[in-house]
Amino acid sequence: MDSTASPSNGSAFVGDERAVRAVVDAVSQAWGDNDAAAFVDHYAEDATAIVPGLALLDRADIRTRMAEAFAAQLKGTRRIHQIRGVRFLDQATAIVTSRSGTAFPGQSAPSDDRWSLATWVLSRRTGRWLIEAYHDCPAA
């Protein structure tokens, strides 16, 4: 279910919702390109990413780990994010929930065991939406 809630008039956040969704799309594109620099360009300097087995505590750490993964086990993969909801806490903070999966080369879609549930926290800094925190866990 795709839903949006805001603390005030829902239409006030329509443009922001498009911009937030564009960040998720850009991260997916960078993953598909195996481009760690483009991937982390959408993360705040002090962002955190929690994924199974790893706590990445800033953009530099995220970039290093993603570059290593894109060169090895994630080479040629695509990341698919099905956004389930976008909620604004205020004009500069958004929470996104998604069902996300990794498709390996030759797969048209992720296998059932490659789907996860994710929470994204984004903030608008200097007019640009950035990922502040990302948390990913296996889907049941």
% of the chain beyond a pLDDT of 90: 86
The more confidently predicted of residues 9 and 96 is 96
On the question of pLDDT at 3 being above 80, the answer is no
What is the spatial distance between Cα 105 and Cα 32, in angstroms, rounded to a whole number? Answer: 10
Class in CATH terms, 3-106+115-138 = alpha beta
Q: How confident is the model at residue 126 (pLDDT cuts 50, 70, 90)?
A: confident
Domain ranges, ordered by start, for the chain: 3-106+115-138
Residue 112: Cβ within 10 Å count: 8
Task: Round to whole Å and give the CA distance between 111 and 137.
Answer: 16
pLDDT at 75 over 80: yes
Instruction: Render pLDDT for 4-59 as a digit per residue (tens, 0 to 9).
Output: 444 444 555 778 999 999 999 999 999 999 999 999 999 999 999 999 999 999 99
* Paired tokens of 75: 């080479």
Distance CA 138, CA 115 (A): 6
- Residue carrying structure tokens 């956004």: 83
Determine contact, residues 123/47, Cβ cutoff 8 Å: no
Q: What is the pLDDT of residues 58-74, one digit of tens each?
A: 999 999 999 999 999 99
